[in-house]
Amino acid sequence: MISNAISIMIAVPLIGAVLAFLTRSRGQARLVALIASLVPLALALQMYTEFDKSSKLMQFVESYDWVPSIGVRYTVGVDCISFPLVLLTAIVSVLVVIYAWGENHRPNQFFALLLLNEVGVLGVFTALDFFLFYIFWEIVLIPMFFLIGIWGGPRKDYSAIKFFIYTHVASLVMLLAIFAMYFTYRLPDGSRTFDMLTLLQATADKSIFPPSLINAIFAGLLFGFLVKMPAFPFHTWLPDAHVEAPTAGSVVLAALLLKMGGYGIFRVILPMLPHVDKAFVTVIAVIGVLSIIYGAFLALAQKDIKKLVAYSSISHMGFVTLGAVAFTWLSIQGAMFQQFSHGIITCALFMSAGTIQHSVGTRIISELGGLADRMPKFASLMLAAFLASLGLPGMSGFVAEFMVLTGSYPTFPVYTLLVVFTSVGVTAGYHLWACQKVLFGPILKKYLDIHDPHAYELLAMSAIVFLTLLFGLQPALITDMMGTAANQVMEPVVTLSQMGVI
Amino acid sequence: MDLGHYAPLGAEALLTAVSLLVVLVGLFTKGRSSLPGYLSLAALVVAMWMVLTAETGTVFFYDSLRVDGFSQFFKAVFILVSLLVVIASLTRYNGRVGGDEYFALLLMATVGMMVVASAIDLVSLFIGFELASLSTYAMAGFDKTKKNLEAAMKYFLYGAASSAFMLFGFSMLYGMTGSTKIADIAGASLAQFNPAILLALIFVIVGFAFKMALVPFHMWAPDTYEGAPALVSALLAAGSKKMGFAAAFRVILIALLALKLEWYMAFAILAAVTMTVGNLVACWQNNVRRILAYSSIAQAGYISIAFVVLGVASEGMTGPNNLPLDQYALAGGLLLVLGHAIMKTGAFISTAQVASIAKNTEDPDDISNYAGLGRRAPVTAFCMTIFMFALAGIPPTAGYFGKFVVFGSAIYGGLVWLAVLAILNSALSLYYYLRIISYMYLREPAGPKVSESKGYVLSLLLALIGTFWIGVLPDGFFNWAMQAAAALLP
């Protein structure tokens, strides 16, 4: 195995970003982007073959002194919680580059920003030092700001600035919580550390972290992650950002950036959950349930297909929140799988919306109809994506949501049933309704001369649909890791009932 | 006389000599030679080397100047700023009539600032202040446009008033203690409280607050930074303003240590108000240089947090890794000074570039002239963007690391409210920085691509390297700042 695999994984897209920025033509820029994003994918696949799925320990760890005077180290590594997301990032980044192959508006900057984004996201998922983690967490905002702002729709200025400020404020609240941990805890030799695992372990010590402090820290971190997810009622930046962003930007945003919030929940929130006020459990669960139901109903009301997908993201990410905090082995596993699965499916959804926009010129559902007639290949892929998203058995979305709901029932029977009886029907409804309106029925006259999109767009979408089926039929490829991760999270406490929550 | 003894002051001597030489060169070439600029550049490079390698810990001229780690740090900052400004000025002023005077004044201003950094006597401190101020008053009106002259006049009047306040405070201290030496004043029993001492403290703080542009003594700064030639604004905001901090750290921390409780309160209020007002007002501005001016005021507020922490830090309080809290806080302040000097110089030089592109418009610094700059002047726009993110405190840049240490020291000192306020302010500041960025990249350009001046570009790239260097590999700078802080603190 290549040593320093993770560092290489982060460094290659970074170098690629600089090179792509300096290129003069679209051909060069996209080639650089493709190569620079294929390297992390190759490394991730190589790591997958060597990854010990049954181990609860960090693997591929690298650690170097960085700013020793204040206890900052460059520490990266992956375990069963983070590795699936690293894999997801590597896959999605390549597919996004392929999908955006035809971008001709300032292509060098566009591909450079996509790569920079990959750097940030990979960094977030692998960093094991809070200082480093925060840096990557913030780096991500910059490419996204420009992706929305330069390539976005009519209200791009407003959306880009809103996105940046909203999520940056949330990050700062998170940073305050990180500060609080850093400033409270000392290593046995009296020095300070930003090491995530050490600090998280330390939060269990009531003599160092009194209840009021730990609750405040927890609330700060939780806020940072819920905004990023985004969960109701902190979701308002998302529809703006999504609607205005270019397709590739929306894909990255939904497939990767939202996962950072979910990752924070698993990496940071769950290990602290047993030590904080038990009321938090209920609050988080309610937020999750509201996100699921509210997101679904909002999606139902949308006229713009991209907005529909954006709100459906809020709904689907609610499953992550609910499953995580239900805190059973199955629900945690399901929530983690939902992160992965939604990351893939949402790519196809946003690509569908984007392709419709490129080919037809509008995304307003009422102005569309019968596209399947002229775009049969695209239509089948879009239909597959929408079916995956609504949770059709045999596809990854079903497995994930099924696991969350089954796993959450013992903990929150009422909430779970509420979700099942309200949102599941609505979700199926708006997905099918959108597909029916857009794809089927008689072709409108004005669309007689449209045709199937470019091969690269179809290639990216097909790859995703394939992955959706692959993980839907053979979830063990990745759920093995999540099972271990769930064990790892639950090991110290086992269940909420043993924690005294329910 | 043993000249070797004075070697640590070599940088000052060199710059003084070269500034006179530059005037002579101008005299004999009727101001048309391009020698002055290059001479100044070379002199500054050598001076930087001399400062960094100078032997520290010695005092000169009957205990009025002291070369120590603290003065070394500030001198390096001042020379760095001057160096960046000189590089950028080469195209603008070199080889033109009056260019020789410009460079001579710039070098003299630098010498003045360096004297302030080493002064341990109130008289030499004041002389340094006046040397730097008089030179920069002249520079502020250098292009002799109406705006220039107005800016220079405002700067001069406020500067003179602040000097008067400061001098009055100094004279009271002298009257009460019988000495102008900072060490003697610290030794005298100022702790016996009386109204005269309080008055002296108020005058000294007000005098310094003018120089540092702390709210409510900041009024002159936006007008001056807006009206002066952009490169001079860079020197003012990044250099001469820091001179106020150099002096304030020494005088207030050392001479007035006995009055800690009083000035701690004053700075807590000044810091809180300064960063909040600076950031809020910046959001309203449409002139980029005014935005930068208010951002600079806000940054002065962040730096002032160091004073507040120094006020509460008592014996035995520690920061991370058992570093003494006072040293840690001061080091943070110094890092912010260094980072801000680099980023602000870069930002103002960028505005100079834009102004040279948009010189025929009504207000060349209006934010509308930044529309599409990313395509019209890609290097300038890129550098400006990084400076904006850095000033806002986005990692991994100098701005983030400096803030990290200063805000952290506030938390260690139990001033959580101040740290929270500062962080909220940081978030607020993002709005106006993003606004400039969004104009540069998200709007359609108003004109064709232009060729960017080489001098500006070189200087911007150097500042860019500095911004990332401190942010990515902060350890060396942090240790340097810690040593500088240790040299000042007892």
CB A267 within 8 A of CB A398: no
Is A168 part of the contact surface with chain B (CB cutoff 8 Å)?
A: yes
Q: What tens digit of pLDDT does each residue of A414-438 get?
A: 998 998 888 888 888 888 988 888 8
Is A164 part of the contact surface with chain B (CB cutoff 8 Å)?
A: yes
CB contact under 8 A, B321 and A135: no
What is the complex's ipTM, to 2 decimals? 0.86
What is the C-alpha to C-alpha distance for residues A90 and A437, in angstroms, rounded to an integer? 34
For A169-189, give one letter per residue: b (16+ CB within 10 A) or e. Answer: bbbbbbbbbbbbbbbbbbeee
pLDDT at position B18 is 93
Which residues of chain A have a CB within 8 Å of the CB of B394? 138, 141-142
C-alpha distance from B239 to closest chain A C-alpha (Å)? 28
CB contact under 8 A, A192 and B389: no
CB atoms within 10 A of CB B199: 13
Question: How large is the average pLDDT for residues B399-406?
Answer: 89
Q: Which stretches of chain A score pLDDT less than 50?
A: none
CA quadruple B212, B213, B214, B217: dihedral sign: positive
Of the partner residues A160, A172, A175, the one whose CB lies closest to the CB of residue B438: A160
Q: What tens digit of pLDDT does each residue of B158-167 get?
A: 989 889 999 9
Closest Cα to residue A93, out of A43, A165, A150, A19? A43
CB contact under 8 A, A179 and B419: yes
pLDDT at position B135 is 92
Q: What tens digit of pLDDT does each residue of B287-322 get?
A: 999 999 999 999 999 999 999 998 888 777 777 777
- Percent of chain B predicted with pLDDT > 70: 98
pLDDT band at B141 (very low <50, low <70, confident <90, very high): confident
Of the partner residues B321, B389, B400, the one whose CB lies closest to the CB of residue A192: B321
Rounded to whole angstroms, what are the CA distances from A46 to A51, A278, A343, A417, B427? 9, 41, 21, 41, 41
pLDDT at position A334 is 92
Per 3-state DSSP, chain A is made up of helix, strand and coil in percentages (nearest 5) of 75, 5, 20
Closest Cα to residue A400, out of A341, A346, A478? A341
User: Is the model's pLDDT at B344 over the cut of 90?
Assistant: yes
DSSP B365-407: TBGGGGTTHHHHSHHHHHHHHHHHHHHHT-SSSHHHHHHHHHH
Token couple for B412: 């260690």
pLDDT at position B1 is 57
C-alpha distance from A156 to closest chain B C-alpha (Å)? 8
State the burial class of residue A346 (Cβ atoms within 10 Å of its Cβ: 0-12, 13-18, 19+).
buried
Tokens 């960093």 correspond to A127
Lowest-confidence pick of A437-441, B38-42, B185-189, B464-468: B185-189
pLDDT band at B458 (very low <50, low <70, confident <90, very high): very high
Which residues of chain B have a CB within 8 Å of the CB of A180? 411
Of the partner residues B321, B389, B405, the one whose CB lies closest to the CB of residue A71: B321
pLDDT at position B191 is 56
Lowest-confidence pick of A466-480, B53-67, B208-222, B447-461: B53-67
CB contact under 8 A, A160 and B478: no
User: Is the model's pLDDT at B457 over the cut of 80?
Assistant: yes
User: Is the model's pLDDT at B194 over the cut of 80?
Assistant: no
Any bridge partners for residue A74, and if so which?
A64
CB B106 within 8 A of CB B79: no
Interface mutation vs chain B, best among A69, A187, A194, most B CBs within 10 Å: A69
Tokens 């009531």 correspond to A206
What is the C-alpha to C-alpha distance for residues A91 and A42, in angstroms, rounded to an integer? 10
Which residues of chain A have a CB within 8 Å of the CB of B438? 149, 157, 160-161
CB atoms within 10 A of CB B214: 30
pLDDT at position B314 is 76
Q: What tens digit of pLDDT does each residue of B351-373 get?
A: 988 888 887 777 888 888 888 88
